[in-house]
Chain A
Amino acid sequence: MTTALARALLLCATGLALALTPGAAAASARASLPAIEREVMCVTCKIPLEVAQSPQADRERAFISTLIAAGDDEAQIKRALVAQYGPSALALPSTHGFDLAAYLVPLAALLAVLTLLAVLLPRWRRAGAPRARAGPAEVQAAAPLSPEDAARVAADLSRFD
């Protein structure tokens, strides 16, 4: 029992030590071309780099590959792309200026819809309650069949007997 516990503790300690070594950290943060291609734009074609097929897209890929080879992580590569091509190199809108609207408007829309539902749902429920209480008999009484319709229905039903 004590040996098993000691082994488990040793295993945990080894795992923790491996996770905290700089090599392991670097390996986990290592950038890859396909991952970055999904998050940046071809600046001349104005479409995501991962689907762009143009000489400029190939140049951007070469630029990114050079930075990956130099050991830069994703954040550093994105900063380098912005420094060279400007903010339009990033696929996601920035978090300042007008671009902020891209994040705030959906949130505001969601809040507005929730507020509307909070106001309208109780009202709809209140309006629906008397009708539910009235039941189908009242509906039938409100719209009686004319003698002609009643005769036609009776004739139709008799054909099925």
Chain B
Amino acid sequence: MRSRALGTLVALCGAGLIALLVYGVSALSPSRTLDQALASGQRPLAPDARVELPVLGGGGLQALSAHRGEVVVLNFWASWCPPCEEEAPLLERAQPSLARNRATVLGITYKDTTTDSQAFTRRYRLSYPILRDSTGAFAHAYGTDKLPETFLIDRSGRVVAISRGEVGSAFVDRAIALARGT
């Protein structure tokens, strides 16, 4: 009787440890919920849209929801990421066309110091708004763990395209077409 209770206790402890391990692996690994929803033809709402992040270089806080009604090219980047250097000029060239059509690039710096991010924006003369994800929680909500990653969000705040990696001109053209409604 007593040895059976002991066996049950050991089994419960083992099961608890395995459950903790599974939870840890699933909680810490990047989520692919958005990608799966897009692949099945849905347009998921952009996560954490109301979370306020500091504006790079001061100027208070801003949330993605402040751009509701605009098409948003949400671009995660960092100054230490070479592909980000490749795509930054492309995004900056697209920004005037986007801005004319109620759209914008919204940069999110991630795992980067303020000074390095600011030096990057000066080097590439970036004119679009940039926020700092200092905890990495916002990036985690988008399943972002590698840079750069870019999400195209429509005027109703829904994700319509994802680029996990450097964006090309096709992605930017799609954003401009979405903004123009063509």
Segment with Cβ contacts to A, from B20-28, B91-99, B160-168: B20-28
Known: A98-B23, A98-B27. A43 touches B111 (CB 8 A): yes
Please determine whether B136 and A86 come into contact, CB atoms closer than 8 angstroms: yes
Known: A98-B23, A101-B24. A83 touches B13 (CB 8 A): no
Please determine whether B20 and A105 come into contact, CB atoms closer than 8 angstroms: yes
In the complex, A48 has a CB within 8 A of chain B: no
Please determine whether A87 and B136 come into contact, CB atoms closer than 8 angstroms: yes
Q: Which of B6, B113, B135 has the most CB of A within 10 A?
A: B113
B-side interface mostly: helix
Q: How far is the CA of A83 from the CA of B109 in the complex (A)?
A: 13
Q: How many inter-chain residue pairs (CB < 8 Å) link A and B?
A: 39
Contact of A87 among B23, B28, B114, B135 (CB under 8 A): B135
Please determine whether A84 and B113 come into contact, CB atoms closer than 8 angstroms: yes
Q: How far is the CA of A85 from the CA of B112 in the complex (A)?
A: 6
Q: How far is the CA of A112 from the CA of B23 in the complex (A)?
A: 21
Please determine whether A83 and B134 come into contact, CB atoms closer than 8 angstroms: yes
Query: Which residue on chain A has the smallest CB distance to residue B6?
Result: A119
A-side interface mostly: helix
Q: How far is the CA of A84 from the CA of B136 in the complex (A)?
A: 10
List CB contacts (< 8 Å) of B94-118 with chain A.
111-114, 116
For A88, the chain B residues whose CB sits under 8 A away are 111, 136
Please determine whether B135 and A86 come into contact, CB atoms closer than 8 angstroms: yes
Q: Which residues of B does A touch, CB under 8 Å?
A: 6, 10, 13, 17, 20, 23-24, 27-28, 80, 111-114, 116, 133-136
Q: A44-B111, A84-B113, A98-B27 are in contact. List 13 more A-B contacts (CB 8 A).
A: A55-B80, A59-B113, A84-B134, A85-B113, A85-B134, A86-B111, A86-B133, A86-B134, A86-B136, A87-B136, A88-B111, A88-B136, A116-B10
Q: Would you list 17 pairs from A and B whose C-beta atoms are within 8 A, ordered by A residue?
A: A55-B80, A59-B80, A59-B113, A59-B116, A83-B134, A84-B112, A84-B114, A85-B112, A85-B134, A86-B133, A86-B134, A88-B111, A88-B136, A98-B23, A98-B28, A105-B20, A112-B13
